Structure 1
Amino acid sequence: MHFFAVFDGHGGPEVSALCRDHMHAILADKLARAAAAYRKENQQDEEAEHRAWKAALARSFMWTDELGASGVPRGTIGGSTAVVALLVLGRIIVANCGDSRAVLCRVGRAVPLSQDHRLDRPEEMARVTAAGGVVFNYGGVLRVQGILAKTRALGHMLLKPEVICEPEITITARSEDDDFMILASDGLWDVMSNTVACRETLKCLEDKSTNAGTMVGREEEVRCVCATFHLTDLAFRMHSRDDICVVVIDLKIRG
């Protein structure tokens, strides 16, 4: 199993760092427990297996939300988005909470693995208002209680129950046609489309000037690091005004 994540804190870096530091341990524990329980029941039902993974991820986000909230001084606004990707048993499992995003490049085409949690999604707007939240439009940006421009996040005690920590989870079967994945915060996606991000990443991964070898390992990671720097630099040049955090995961052995 391989685990990757991007956290994007707002209202200060403390919550983001706290969530990042604890999510790995929490997720490893919850997934191990779910796998053990599944094996003990000797189930061969794929749907039951998917439910077990989803339940373990949901519990991980709930625990991390509580830890994140403990790092916010009483009465202040602070929180973090999170997008998590697991590569396990021939599947890509993505859990997203907020407006960070996971995108898969398959046969050179961008395939979104998550949806942003923003108020322009009717179902998210309906849920927020049903919970008693008031939405204000500031400069063309919809915000919960006039504060937060997303509907889900970790650590936002002051905005509960309108802002929730429950992730949306997708499970995608791996394919030989899979090229790579991008996990990134909204500082990238605010100025760059999925298609452009995939196109620019592919250029870096296929660039032989990095002298990366054919083995999966350190040489392969060189190109991934180059791709993250390139995407970040490009987003700055496109006048991104938000924090930018990018992770690139190569899913192929490249010559």
Structure 2
Amino acid sequence: MVEMTSESDDCTINRRRRRLMLRRARSAANNGNKAVTDENSVEVSLHSSGPSCASSSERSSDDDVSAVMLRESSNQDVPPTPTKAAFVGSSYGCVSSIGRRREMEDAVCVELGFVSRALFKDSYDFFGVYDGHGGAHVAVECKVLLHGIVKARLEGAEGRVVDWEDVMGRSFADMDAEVARKGEKAAGTVGSTAVVAVVGSELVVIANCGDSRAIISRGGAAIALSDDHKPNRPDELKRIEDAGGSVIERNGHRILGVLAISRSIGDHYLKPFVTPEPDVRVVERTHLDEFLILASDGLWDMLSNDHACQIVRRCLKGQNGRRPDQQVAKEHGTAAEAAALLARTAMAQGSSDNISVIVVELERPSRKLIA
């Protein structure tokens, strides 16, 4: 059930109050993400890997945000993995908002088909969210370079079964070393989280360091595919102390009283207490999979996993009460609308951070891979 702060029953924000227009536009195969140009704006881009590709964008002031509240669902047991199904292609929407911050330190990367069937039996798409701190330098470097580093590691595994944990671990280490190698001024005190998803027709691979998060909606259940790396997490605290570091409670638990996450790319002044080593999870895709959400903590500090999944699910299934003249993509919402709605809900609930969100649909019509 949806509770609104406006008089409308729409689950999306009233168009007259938020001055939002979703404009269908012709897209190009290599459409990139546009930079946010207004301090309090949100920019949305929608892409589809199907025969046609739609693109839309929105900019709207924080002052026009209306809260969209969904009731929290009860915890659900993770459903058993059913019979494996094959999928090809996906659509996605992404949002990157400066929010109420003066500086934009987040970065988002989407590379469709970054690994093709020329190397493997499957093709893969790459999605990444990077939340910088101390500046945007490392997050931007990750956006530009990390997918290429992962691709190079995968090309080195051509003809062999891919050890995803090894590939991702080495790729994150390579990225960290590249940041250190460039040695730009103040780079040692700048860092970034990283949560990336490599999506194929049969697998979803998640690698993360820091507190940006990935979740999947499967059979109606919100399932976390990453664990936040916080200094007070028992295993992380032990690792830090074993390395000779300490965690001090100063406006939250922080390594040496400074950094509120225990893993990141960059932050070389806090080595070896801070490590770029990612947690890696490989998940087989099933016919119950609905969508992925990757986002920075500007979203997750405001919304629970269940709440975020409810918002996206209702939007994608068209359960938002929109009038016919407001419809996009026929009776269904789009991944871009869902990502925008997540960001706006977080801002309406008081987020003061940058917010970056990627929503990847997983339940599009599929076809079997040709061997």
TM normalised by structure 1 equals 0.86
State whether residues 295 and 356 of structure 2, in contact with CA within 8 Å, keep that contact through their aligned partners in structure 1: yes
Partner of residue 152 from structure 2, selected from 12, 26, 29: 29
**Change over 3 Å in CA distance of 1:153–1:66 after alignment to 2:** same
State whether residues 96 and 114 of structure 1, in contact with CA within 8 Å, keep that contact through their aligned partners in structure 2: yes
Distance in structure 1 (CA, Å) of the matches to 2:164 and 2:187: 35
Partner of residue 246 from structure 2, selected from 129, 134, 143: 134
Q: Structure 2 matches for 1:220-239, cutoff 5 A?
A: 223-239=334-350
Distance in structure 2 (CA, Å) of the matches to 1:75 and 1:195: 37
C-alpha displacement at 1:207, in angstroms?
A: 2.0
Aligned to 1:225, what secondary structure does the other structure show?
Answer: helix
Partner of residue 7 from structure 1, selected from 97, 119, 130: 130
Matched, 1:112 2:235: no
C-alpha displacement at 1:107, in angstroms?
A: 1.4
Distance in structure 1 (CA, Å) of the matches to 2:149 and 2:249: 36
Structure 2 counterpart of 1:193, one-letter code: S
C-alpha displacement at 1:4, in angstroms?
A: 0.8
State whether residues 79 and 155 of structure 1, in contact with CA within 8 Å, keep that contact through their aligned partners in structure 2: yes
Q: Structure 2 matches for 1:39-58, cutoff 5 A?
A: 49=161, 52-58=163-169
**Change over 3 Å in CA distance of 1:72–1:102 after alignment to 2:** farther
Q: Give 1:157's aligned residue.
A: 268
Distance in structure 1 (CA, Å) of the matches to 2:126 and 2:364: 19
**Deviation string, structure 1 residues 82-120 (Cα, Å, up to 9, x no partner):** 001111351111001110000000112101001000123
Distance in structure 2 (CA, Å) of the matches to 1:25 and 1:205: 31
State whether residues 16 and 68 of structure 1, in contact with CA within 8 Å, keep that contact through their aligned partners in structure 2: no
Distance in structure 2 (CA, Å) of the matches to 1:77 and 1:234: 32
Distance in structure 1 (CA, Å) of the matches to 2:132 and 2:187: 17
State whether residues 128 and 197 of structure 2, in contact with CA within 8 Å, keep that contact through their aligned partners in structure 1: yes
Identity, in percent, stands at: 39
For the aligned residue pairs, the C-alpha RMSD in angstroms reads: 1.9
Structure 1 counterpart of 2:214, one-letter code: A
Q: Give 1:41's aligned residue.
A: none
Aligned to 1:171, what secondary structure does the other structure show?
Answer: strand
**Deviation string, structure 1 residues 108-133 (Cα, Å, up to 9, x no partner):** 21010010001231001100111111
Question: Which of 158-167 and 241-250 deviates more?
Answer: 241-250
Structure 2 counterpart of 1:23, one-letter code: L
Runs of 4 or more consecutive aligned structure 1 residues displaced over 6 Å after TM superposition: none
Partner of residue 212 from structure 1, selected from 312, 329, 334: 329
Distance in structure 2 (CA, Å) of the matches to 1:167 and 1:100: 12
C-alpha displacement at 1:37, in angstroms?
A: 4.8
Aligned to 2:314, what secondary structure does the other structure show?
Answer: helix
Distance in structure 2 (CA, Å) of the matches to 1:72 and 1:152: 21
TM normalised by structure 2 equals 0.60
**Deviation string, structure 1 residues 23-53 (Cα, Å, up to 9, x no partner):** 111111111212x151xxxxxxxxxx35x22
State whether residues 164 and 282 of structure 2, in contact with CA within 8 Å, keep that contact through their aligned partners in structure 1: no
C-alpha displacement at 1:161, in angstroms?
A: 0.2
Aligned to 1:245, what secondary structure does the other structure show?
Answer: strand
Matched, 1:17 2:17: no
Distance in structure 2 (CA, Å) of the matches to 1:252 and 1:211: 18
C-alpha displacement at 1:67, in angstroms?
A: 2.1
Distance in structure 1 (CA, Å) of the matches to 2:285 and 2:355: 27
Aligned to 1:4, what secondary structure does the other structure show?
Answer: strand
Specify every segment of 5 or more residues in structure 2 that has no aligned partner in the other structure, as ranges.
1-123, 366-371
**Deviation string, structure 1 residues 201-234 (Cα, Å, up to 9, x no partner):** 11221128543169xxxxx9x7111111111111
State whether residues 179 and 250 of structure 1, in contact with CA within 8 Å, keep that contact through their aligned partners in structure 2: yes
Distance in structure 2 (CA, Å) of the matches to 1:37 and 1:157: 36
Partner of residue 96 from structure 1, selected from 208, 213, 219: 208
- What is the aligned residue count? 235
Partner of residue 193 from structure 1, selected from 288, 298, 304: 304
Q: Give 1:67's aligned residue.
A: 178
Structure number with greater Rg is: 2
Structure 1 counterpart of 2:299, one-letter code: L
C-alpha displacement at 1:73, in angstroms?
A: 2.1
Structure 2 counterpart of 1:86, one-letter code: V
